[in-house]
Structure 1
Amino acid sequence: MMWLLLQINTQLADSTATVAAATTAPAQISLWSLLDKGGFIMYPLYLLLVGAIFVFFERLIAIRKASKIEDNFMSMIRDNIMTGNLSAARTLAKNTNNPVARIIDKGIQRIGKPIDAIEKSMENVGKLEMYKMERNLSILSLIAGIAPMFGFLGTIVGMIQLFYGIASTGNFTLNDIAGGIYVKMITSGTGLIIGLLAYIGHNVLTAQIDKTANKMEVASSDFIDVLQEPTR
């Protein structure tokens, strides 16, 4: 009899543990299913994410292309100018497709005029080249600002819908409220992540532009120094 009672108790304990394990096991959900619960506000956030990725890589490729210049470019320009071969110097500058070469080309065109006029012309070209490199960077800055706002707007709309449903149906169990809140917070989290990525991308591109601008300034300074040296 005692053996039978012990066996029954063991079976009950095993079944209770199984039920408890099944009850406490967290439900698995995929990332896409989770994002899909964010509602219609997720679609503008997706567009912002695609826009940020496109602008970042498009500008990154353009800026890296603009920053590439041969190490001996300025040496060749200097040698041609010092020997009086201005046509060869200008041909080299025109055939080199980068901001530094275009600035030097403008300086070569102004040779014979006062140094101040040459520097002013080169500075104007430098400003135009900087504008070209900074083009569309404002889009990343805009996305970094409005993406979190879109996410917060989605959360507010979702909370309004949640509490309206509670008021209409009278169902206000803890599970209903907690489940509704975590779903509505998805848009806020997504918006913050997109805004952070856009902000980081904007700063990375700005750093690349600063490096290229430094190369332009160094080349301009070297060119002016060449003009002030006596010719051979």
Structure 2
Amino acid sequence: MFSIIQAAGWPIYPLILCSIVALALIIERLSTLRPSRVAPPSLTDEVVTVTRNTLPAADVVNKLAQTSVLGQVLASGLRAVIAEPRITEQALRQAFESAGRAAVHRLERYLNTLGSIAAVAPLLGLFGTVVGMIEIFGSQAPTGGTNPALLAHGISVALYNTALGLIVAVPSLMFYRYFRGRIDEFAIEMEQSAERLVPHLMRFAVRTPPQHAVAP
């Protein structure tokens, strides 16, 4: 491996850095975007069961928020109803939407960096190819002779950097697309859970009786 790095020359070092960062981001996102940490399948049913007859206490809501990302979204709706007993359905939906947007934003953490690496890695490989071509042309002596060592090094720089740029870019792009699809799925699941919980929680809202106009 060290001999390959030496043969590829100094343009390969930015690509190595990109590969290390991309690998760290992929491992971190694989660990974070697990269903058990984002949207447990039975969590919504459990919330509906717990709130069937009454609203839970504050400590129960706090524990719900600590379970997962979906738990944070559902807890925001519960807190809105507890804090404002006369809450309207529109206000409750807004509370869920705000929490959902914040949750999706957290799930998209580091994705822009991973996508940037997928886009930049081929360009860095192309840059290494250009550097190698410059060395290849530089190996041509003015008298018409060729320096074999410099020619071989230029070819190595051109080929190794191109190959490593593609090796870094392709998996990074694949995982970027995969994570983006997973986040879209989680966003739909959270939206459906919130839609299910809105009419359920509105049962606990205090209805303001309509005021009839008094005839003069």
TM-score (norm 2): 0.80
Instruction: After TM superposition, give the deviation of residue 77 of structure 1 in Å.
Output: 2.1
Other-structure match for 2:107: 133
Other-structure match for 1:186: 160
Q: Percent same amino acid among aligned pairs?
A: 25
Instruction: After TM superposition, give the deviation of residue 171 of structure 1 in Å.
Output: 2.4
- RMSD of aligned alpha carbons: 2.7
1:33-62 per-position Cα deviation (integer Å, ceiling 9, x unaligned): 345311111111111000000011112211
Within the candidate set 119, 140, 144, 1:166 is matched to 140
**1:151, 1:191 within 8 Å by CA — same for their partners in 2?**
yes
Q: Provide the rounded CA distance (Å) in 1 between the counterparts of 2:127 and 2:45.
A: 57
1:66-86 per-position Cα deviation (integer Å, ceiling 9, x unaligned): 325251x323322333312x1
Instruction: After TM superposition, give the deviation of residue 217 of structure 1 in Å.
Output: 1.1
Higher share in helix: 1
Q: Provide the rounded CA distance (Å) in 2 between the counterparts of 1:178 and 1:204.
A: 39
1:196 aligns with 2:170: yes
**2:7, 2:156 within 8 Å by CA — same for their partners in 1?**
no
Instruction: After TM superposition, give the deviation of residue 203 of structure 1 in Å.
Output: 1.1
Instruction: After TM superposition, give the deviation of residue 212 of structure 1 in Å.
Output: 1.7
Q: Provide the rounded CA distance (Å) in 1 between the counterparts of 2:22 and 2:158.
A: 24
How many residues were matched structurally? 198
Within the candidate set 50, 53, 65, 1:83 is matched to 53
Q: How does 1:109-128 map to 2 (within 5 A)?
A: 109-111=79-81, 112=85, 113-128=87-102
Q: Provide the rounded CA distance (Å) in 2 between the counterparts of 1:169 and 1:127.
A: 68
- Which residue identity is paired with 1:132? R
Within the candidate set 118, 123, 128, 1:144 is matched to 118
- Which residue identity is paired with 2:63? N
Q: Provide the rounded CA distance (Å) in 2 between the counterparts of 1:114 and 1:194.
A: 51
1:145-182 per-position Cα deviation (integer Å, ceiling 9, x unaligned): 11111111111011111211213563249998678435
Q: How does 1:193-232 map to 2 (within 5 A)?
A: 193-228=167-202
Bigger Rg, structure 1 or 2: 1
Other-structure match for 2:37: 66
**2:139, 2:148 within 8 Å by CA — same for their partners in 1?**
no
* Structure 1: gaps spanning 5 or more residues: 1-30
Other-structure match for 2:15: 45
TM-score (norm 1): 0.75
Other-structure match for 2:213: none
**2:104, 2:187 within 8 Å by CA — same for their partners in 1?**
yes
**2:139, 2:150 within 8 Å by CA — same for their partners in 1?**
no
Instruction: After TM superposition, give the deviation of residue 222 of structure 1 in Å.
Output: 1.1
Other-structure match for 1:103: 73
Q: Provide the rounded CA distance (Å) in 2 between the counterparts of 1:172 and 1:165.
A: 6
Q: Provide the rounded CA distance (Å) in 2 between the counterparts of 1:46 and 1:168.
A: 36
